[in-house]
Amino acid sequence: MRRGKPVTIGSAIRSYQPEIVKHIQALIRIRSVASESLPGWPFGEGIAQALHYMLDLGASMGFRTANVDGYAGHVEYGDGEELVAVLVHLDTVPEGTGWTYDPFGAEIHNGRIYGRGASDDKGPAVVALYALKAIKDLGINPKKRIRIIFGTNEENGMTDMDYYFAREPFPDYAFTPDAAYPIIHAEKGYYVFRMKRQHTVAERDRRILEMAGGVAPNVVPEHCRTIIAVTDAEPEELERIVLLAEENPQIDAILTKEGRVEITAVGKSGHGSYPPSGINAISHMAAFLHMIGGIVPEDEFWRFIRTAIGFEAFGESLGLACNDPVHGRLTVNLAQVRLDEKTAEAILNVRYPVTTDGETVLAKLRQKAAGYGVEVEVTAFMAPLFVPPDHTLIRKLGRAYEAIMGEKAELLSIGGGTYARKLQNRGVAFGAGFRGTDTKAHQPDEFVGIEDMMLHGEICTQAIYELIRTEEER
C-alpha cells in the first residue's frame, strides 16, 4: 500500500485525530449489543445510548439531526434535491470470551484501539462524522445534501434500514465503510435458515437433556454446551466419556451430582462470512457425541448436523457447493444450536455467489434436510448486490481512492453483507479496512489501528467531496 501526494480535501481530517480517537473510545465503551426492546429503544438500551451519543455529537458540530424512532438516525449538511449518504452502524455482535483486553475498555496499545466494535463499525462511524465536519469547516457549501446515517441493527437483519427508508428518501449515491478497500461492488446472497425437528423423549435414561451453542448467525460459534442424562450407565462408561474428553483439546466433560454429564466444546469465534476464520464448537460437539454414540444413541437431527454439515464450510455434503471464479464460493456457517426434550433446532448462515440462483440453493437444502425429517425455515434473506463497473458511483469513488492512495481502485466481491444491499443499487461498501490487516471483527481482541483509521478518513473525506461535486466543478 503506498500513499500518493497529499490531497487538500482528504488530508483536512488529519487535524481532528485527537478528537476522533477520544470519541471512538467513548463509543466503544457503550455496550451496544441487541437486547430487550423498550419504548423508543427498539433494539435495547445500549444501542439507544450509542445512537444518542452520535446524534448529540453531530448536533454539537452544527449539523441538522434526526432520530427516526430509535431505529436509525442521521446528521445532515448542505442543501439541494440530490442526496449523498454514508451509512454506518452502531450495533455490534456480542463480545464473547477470550479477550486479552477489556472488550469495552477501549484501551490503546501500540497504536491500536481495542474493543468490540472498534473496526466494525464504530471507528468508521466516528470518522464518517468527522469527514463531514472537515468538509463543513473548509467552507464548502454543497448544492447537495449529505447525510451520515447511523444504523442500529446491521448485525441482526438490517431491519433498521427497512424502517428508516420507509420514512426517509433513498440517497442518490452512497457508500458504507463497513468492509474493505478498494471498492466492493458485489456482495453474495445471504440466507439465515432455521433447521428444526420435533421429537419425543426417548424411552431411555441416556439422552441429551439440553444443548446450546453459538451467539448469532454471522459468528462462528466458540462454545457449545450439552447436558446428558446417564443415570443407568455403568461407571466404566462414564469414565470413558471423561477420558475421551481429556484426549480432545476442544472438549471438556464433568460428572454432576445429579447423575449427568456436562460436556463443553470450545472453538474460536470468527466472521460468519468466511467460516474457516474460526473453529466451530458445534461441529466439534457433533463429532464428540458420535464418538460416545454407544453410550448416548444418535438421533436423526444430530445425525443430519454431523453427516450433512460436520466441519464443512462450503456446503459439499449438503449438495450446495458452488464456486464463481470472480465472486467466490458458497459458504455455510453452522452458527447456533438449541436442543431440549421436545425440539431440536440449528441456525445456518448460507452465503452464495451473485451468479448463483438463491431459490435453487433453498430447494436443494430443503430436499437434503427432508431426508432426515428436518424442516427448513427462512428467517432472513438478502439478495446479492452487484453494481456495474461503469456506474457513476464507482467512477467517483475510484477517483477518491486513487487521489489518496496513488493506485488504481480494484473492484472486489465479498461474502459479507453490508447496508449497501438496502440501497437499491445506489450504494456499495467502500473501506474501511486495508488489505493485509485483520482487525479481528467478530473475534476476541478486535481493534482499529489509529493510523489506518486516519488514512481511511482521508479517503472517506475525499469520497464525500467527489460525490457532492458536479462534473462541471471538476
Among 168, 112, 183, CA closest to 418 = 183
Domain with CATH 3.30.70.360 in the chain: 190-382
Domain 8-188+385-473: CATH class, spelled out = alpha beta
Does residue 294 carry a pLDDT above 70?
no
- Under 8 Å CB-to-CB from 225, ≥6 apart: which residues? 211, 212, 213, 262, 263, 264, 265
pLDDT band at 4 (very low <50, low <70, confident <90, very high): very low
Active-site hit among 95, 120, 154, 160 = 154
Active-site hit among 76, 91, 178, 452 = 91
Q: What is the total residue count of the chain? A: 474
State how far the Cα of 222 lies from the Cα of 98, in Å rounded to an integer: 10
State how far the Cα of 243 lies from the Cα of 291, in Å rounded to an integer: 12
State how far the Cα of 225 lies from the Cα of 413, in Å rounded to an integer: 36
Average per-residue pLDDT for the chain: 92
pLDDT in tens, 79-125: 999 999 999 999 999 998 899 999 999 999 999 999 999 999 999 99
Higher pLDDT, 256 or 10: 10
Domain with CATH 3.40.630.10 in the chain: 8-188+385-473
Catalytic residue flag (residue 205)? no
pLDDT band at 232 (very low <50, low <70, confident <90, very high): low
pLDDT in tens, 20-53: 999 999 999 999 999 999 999 999 999 999 999 9
pLDDT band at 425 (very low <50, low <70, confident <90, very high): confident
State how far the Cα of 47 lies from the Cα of 24, in Å rounded to an integer: 15
Looking at residue 29, its pLDDT comes to: 98
Give mean pLDDT, residues 364-387: 94
C-alpha cell at 32: 451496544
Instruction: Find the helix or strand (DSSP H, E) in which 349 lies.
Output: strand 343-352
Least confident of 101-115, 128-142, 199-213, 376-390: 199-213
pLDDT in tens, 296-336: 677 889 899 999 999 999 999 999 999 999 889 999 999 99
Catalytic residue flag (residue 472)? no
If DSSP codes are grouped into helix, strand and coil, which group holds residue 194?
strand
Among 72, 176, 161, CA closest to 128 = 176
Looking at residue 157, its pLDDT comes to: 86
Looking at residue 1, its pLDDT comes to: 41
Give mean pLDDT, residues 149-168: 96
Domain 190-382: CATH class, spelled out = alpha beta
